[in-house]
Amino acid sequence: MVAVIATYNIAPTLIGNDVASTMSFDVWVDRWSLTADGAPIRTAYSDLLPVVRNGVPAMLKIARTEEERRGASLSNWYAGDGAVRALEIEGPALLMERPRGNQSLAELSHSGHDDQATKILCATVQKLHTERDRPPPEDLVPLDVWFRSLASTVHPLLARSLAVARELLADTRRPIALHGDIHHGNVLYDNDRGWLAIDPKGLRGEPLLRRCSSAGSTSSRRWRPLTATACSSGCSRTPDCPPRGVWKTVTVSNCGLRLSKSRRASWEDKPPKTRFTVR
């Protein structure tokens, strides 16, 4: 069993001259004939505004990081297959489908049905990994680059994560486009189209690595004990479903990555609030 409880806050990397333009939605509302349909939402990475176009709910998202721009490009490439549809994309702006449903994976998990929620996560990832007849975006970040922050500290909590990540990345067999941030809060339900992924990070690498790593997270940003039975049952129909040991191994590396990206100051001065146990 792997159990990790962590708090984190990843600071964004701002995009030079585009930062000022994200403070106002007006140019995009006018250009795409939108009507505001709610209060704006500001996150660490982007600005969002619920809108309506021609009577259809949508979400306007203005990226403030390169990561979010890559995500918009990948959303467009998914073409609505397992993810929300990208309706318009230009510069830092993305107009996307807004799921309208009354189900929540987080609520499903917290109400004692986490195995069912995990199966839905895995099924969503399987859709995203479906082969497509067009090449993926060229700016996807390789996983070895994504995991590089593990080597930026000598903190003992990350030593095993770094070793495990290097072992896994050395055995990449079938690199594909990866969402990069599948968790309970990033898979939403739409009454017409079912479960849809949002907010991809735009990565490229071994699909098994990211499928496994999605299984341990929740929208509350707290890691629950990972049961390999629940995770593996979610992909039991796929030929590359991993053994239980692989689930635990990948979770170790991914938890370390999240912790390494979360630190805002030197851990020698301010240790993370983390419990990290492996059995």
Active-site positions? 181
Secondary structure E strands in 37-186: 41-42, 46-53, 56-63, 86-90, 93-97, 141-142, 176-178
How far is residue 55's CA from residue 39's CA, in Å, rounded to a whole number?
Answer: 18
| Residue that is written with structure tokens 């917290």 in the block | 110
HSE, side-chain direction, 13 A CA sphere, residue 42: 5
For residue 110, give both structure tokens: 């917290």
The DSSP bridge partners found for residue 8 are: none
How far is residue 256's CA from residue 26's CA, in Å, rounded to a whole number?
Answer: 40
Task: List, as one string, the DSSP characters of 103-123.
Answer: --HHHHHHTT-HHHHHHHHHH
How far is residue 195's CA from residue 111's CA, in Å, rounded to a whole number?
Answer: 18
The burial class, CB within 10 Å (0-12 / 13-18 / 19+), for 243 is: exposed
Q: How far is C-alpha 235 from the geometric centre of its chain's CA atoms?
A: 18
| Residue that is written with structure tokens 């496994």 in the block | 212
The burial class, CB within 10 Å (0-12 / 13-18 / 19+), for 110 is: middle
**Which spans in 79-155 are helix H?**
105-110, 114-128, 143-146
How far is residue 58's CA from residue 17's CA, in Å, rounded to a whole number?
Answer: 26
Q: How far apart, in Å, do the first and last CA atoms of the chain sit? A: 5
